[in-house]
Amino acid sequence: MRLLHTLFAALLLSVSVLSPAYGADTDATAVPTSPVITSSRGILKPKDILSTSTSVPETVYRPGIYQIGTDLPAGEYVIFTLTNGIKGSYSILSDTSDDAQVLDHASFPYNSIVTLSEGQVLKLTRCSASPISEVTQIDHFYGNMYKIGYHIPAGTYRLKRAKNAQAGVAFTLAWPSNTYDSVIDYMEVTDNAVITVHEGQYLQLEDCLLAATATADDIKRYRIPTASETAAAEEEALKRQQTSPVLVSGDLVPGLSTSTSEPVTSYPAGTYQVGSDLPAGEYVLLSQSDDPGVYMISREAKPDDHDDLIDYGGIQNDAIVEVEEGEYLTFENASASPISEVPDLDYRSATEFKVGVHVPAGTWYFVSDDPDNTGIVFVMSATRRQYKDMISMKYIDTTPVPITLEKGQYLLMMNCRFTAQTASVSGPGADSVGTVNSAIQTLLDAIKQLGN
C-alpha cells in the first residue's frame, strides 16, 4: 500500500421605537406597508384563509447593529424591508468581536424571519425588525417568509411564479434560517405549483408567491409527500447542526439532489479481485471519514511498477470507478457500492457525478468560493482519469461558468461547486490560468501520465 500513499500525497488535499446600539440609522421609516390590492389582481375569497394585509407592529427596531440580550431581547422576529421592491438585508454574527462568525445572512424584497439568541449580534440594513408576536398577518401578495400555524395554517397551497421572473423557488425550512441545514425540501416554481407545509415549519419564497389554498384537482397533479415522509425529513434536518456555509439567496440549485442515497450493498475499505471478491461493473466510492480517501485499479493486488497500474484517484467525498473481471480494486477511507444503489448524491458536497444518473443532462453553472485558489471542472467520457478520455476542462473562478453536460458523461470537480447564479457570466471559462493550486496540478499531471 506504500505506492498508493505515494501517488496521492499531493491530492489529499449571514409605535415604540427602541434605541439601537452602535449608531443605528434612526431617520428611516420602518413601518411595513402593503400596496393597495386592486380588483385586477383579484381579492381572495374568505375560504382561502390568506391575508391581504400585513400587521403594523408597535415595536420597531430601525436599521442598525444590535447586541442580543443588551439592545433587544432574544427571541423570534419578523424583518421588513423599508421600501417595497428595494431589498433589505440582515446579518447575524456570533458576537461583537472583529473576527465574529457570520451565522446567517439574507436579502429579501419584503420580509424574512429570524430567531436570535443571547450574545449574538444583529445587523439590519434597509430593513427593520419587530417581535413576531406583533406580526400575526403577512400580505400573501408580497410575503417572502411565513411561519406555519401562525401566519398561515398547515395545509396545501398553490404557488404562482412572480411577474417578470423566469422561475421561483419555494423552500420548506425546519427553522427560520438561510443556511443549508435548515432546508427540509425545496421546489422550483415555473408555472403554477403546489406545496404542502406542516405546523411549526417555515415557508420561504423567492420569485414566487402564495396564490390560494389548493383544490383537490391541484393536488392530483402533483405528488404530495406523506406525513411520515415529511416527519422523517424534518427529523433529519433537525439532527444536523447549523455549521454549513451561509446560503446566499437563491443559491440552492433546482434539479439537483440535496441528499446522498444509503446503499444496501457496501464493501468496506480493502483490496478486492474483480470477479471473485466483487462483481465487475460501476461503483460509487463514498468517504467514510473526514480524511480524504484514495483508490487504485491495478493488474496485480500489489503493483510494483507503473505498468501494473490502470487508474488511481483521490476521494474527497465520492468517486466513481468501473472495474473489469480480473482487475484489482484497492481503496482506503471509503466504502464501495454499485452505482445502481446510489442514484442520488448531495450536490453540495459530492465532487464526482455521472450525467443522467446524479446530474441531469443540460447546461449547469459553476463557481469557486475562494478567490485565491482556482477551481477546475473535468468532463470525461469514462470513469478512468486518463487523458484520452478527457472531453473538456474548465478553470473556475468566482464568476459563474456555464458547462454543458450530456448523458453518459462523467463530471469531476475540484475546489468549486454548482451555483444557481447565472448572471455576470464573462464567458465559457478561461482556457488558461495563472494560479492553479498544487492539488489540481498533480491531478493534471497524473491524467497526462496515465494517458501516455
Top pLDDT among 195 and 369 is at 195
pLDDT tens per residue, range 302-327: 887 777 889 988 898 899 999 999 99
pLDDT at residue 132 tops 60: yes
Same domain, 131 and 224: yes
Residue 446: its H or E element = helix 438-451
Same domain, 208 and 84: yes
Q: How far apart are CA 366 and CA 400, in angstroms?
A: 5
pLDDT at residue 195 tops 60: yes
pLDDT tens per residue, range 15-42: 233 333 443 443 334 445 444 333 233 3
* pLDDT of amino acid 14: 29
Amino acid 305 reads D
pLDDT tens per residue, range 354-391: 999 999 999 999 988 677 778 899 999 999 888 788 89
pLDDT at residue 199 tops 60: yes
| Residues 378-406, mean pLDDT to the nearest whole number | 90
pLDDT at residue 153 tops 50: yes
* pLDDT of amino acid 233: 66
Same domain, 318 and 188: no
In sign, the C-alpha dihedral spanning 127, 128, 132, 137 is negative
Same domain, 361 and 330: no
Sorted by sequence, the CB contacts under 8 Å of residue 238 that are 6+ apart come out as 174, 175
Q: Does residue 385 form part of some domain?
A: yes
Q: Does residue 247 form part of some domain?
A: no
Same domain, 43 and 170: yes
How far, in whole angstroms, is CA 117 from its chain's centroid?
Answer: 24
pLDDT band at 170 (very low <50, low <70, confident <90, very high): very high
DSSP state, residue 275: T
Same domain, 206 and 259: no
- Per the structure, the complete domain to which residue 283 belongs is given by 253-342
C-alpha dihedral (359, 362, 363, 365), degrees to nearest 10? -10
pLDDT at residue 1 tops 50: no
Same domain, 337 and 357: no
State the chain's maximal CA–CA distance in angstroms.
80
Q: Does residue 2 form part of some domain?
A: no
Same domain, 222 and 268: no
Q: How far apart are CA 318 and CA 192, in angstroms?
A: 36
pLDDT band at 71 (very low <50, low <70, confident <90, very high): very high
Please say which residue of 239, 261, 279 terminates a domain.
239
Asked if residue 44 lies in contact with residue 212, where contact means CB atoms within 8 angstroms, the answer is: yes
Please give the C-alpha separations between residue 394 and each of 313, 366, 368, 380, 449, in angstroms, as whole numbers: 19, 10, 12, 12, 19
Top pLDDT among 45 and 221 is at 221
Per the DSSP assignment, residues forming a β-bridge with 297 are 311, 329
What is the share, in percent, of the chain residues with pLDDT greater than 70? Answer: 75
| Residues 261-288, mean pLDDT to the nearest whole number | 95
Q: Which of 216, 80, 225 is nearest to 144 (CA)?
A: 80
Same domain, 70 and 190: yes
Same domain, 42 and 159: yes
Please say which residue of 342, 376, 395 terminates a domain.
342
In sign, the C-alpha dihedral spanning 197, 201, 206, 211 is positive
- Average pLDDT value over all residues in the chain: 79
Same domain, 165 and 41: yes
Same domain, 366 and 388: yes
Q: How many domains does the chain have?
A: 3
